[in-house]
Chain A
Amino acid sequence: MLSFKVQLFSVLKSKLQTDSVDLETPEGISVGEFLDLACAQYPVMEPYRRVMRLAVNQTYSEDAHILQDGDEVAIITPVSGG
């Protein structure tokens, strides 16, 4: 198993009332599977599944990308800067 601290911002941070959650995953998990698992574990995220991206080591990552132990991960919902 791998263990990740998932950083949260904006609407997810408000809805979950925390700026990070812990997630345990099997080894070899992909970004897409990781986001599905996060939504299953924290159902309040589910409405955002279609529009969320995972940043891995501060870079947007594709669904097929495989996560490694120690990766820095953050869930990014549509941004609204400017």
Chain B
Amino acid sequence: MVADESRKRLVQLSYERIDIPAAYRFLQTPRAGGVAVFIGTARQWTGERETLSLTYESYKPMALKEMHRLIDAAEHKWPIQRVCLLHKLGEVRLTEASVLVGVATAHRAEAFAACRFLIDQLKVQVPIWKQERLTDGQKVWVEGNHPPR
């Protein structure tokens, strides 16, 4: 993984598997006293509906811009030392990571808050969509209820 010029943030949309140890290595800095990491994974059951796998697509250039914009907003609110926002595209198998949000800050409260903000905002703002492959062979786009702001 290659960090951008500022070396404070790592933003990636890739068909490759998310490299969790590499993301954690990136987040390590002596300036941080806490690292919060959220990993979103492919879930088998949604109520009675069984999912075999997920497939993600994106409007990639805009998605990357939005991911950077969300980090800009988070950096404005909290004193972030390191941050990474990684999303996998293409097929994601059950239990595999589809998204990783990591934040390193001096104290834990800011790390938790910024991490929560980034995943919540990513899920409504960033142009990425998931399709579920179900046990009956159907492929269904997951449609959110609210338009991005």
Contacts and interface: CB of A to CB of B under 8 A. Distances in A.
B46 to A, nearest CB: 12
B128 interface: yes
B141 interface: yes
B104 interface: no
Given A9-B127, A81-B128, A74 B62 contact: yes
B99 A78 contact: no
Contacts of B56: 81
Contacts of B87: 81-82
A35 to B, nearest CB: 11
Contact of A80 (B61, B65, B119, B142): B142
Contact of A82 (B40, B63, B65, B127): B40
Contacts, number: 90
Task: Name the interface size band of chain A.
Answer: 20 to 34
Main secondary structure of the interface of B (DSSP, over half): mixed
A10 B62 CA distance: 15
Nearest to B87: A81
Contacts of A53: 147-148
Contacts of B144: 51, 77-80
A9 B147 contact: no
Contacts of B149: 60
Nearest to A76: B127
Interface of B: 40, 56-59, 61-63, 65, 87, 98-99, 119, 122-131, 141-149
Give 6 closest A-B pairs by Cβ, nearest first: A81-B128, A78-B144, A10-B129, A58-B62, A80-B142, A82-B123
Interface of A: 7, 9-11, 14, 51-53, 55, 58-60, 74, 76-82
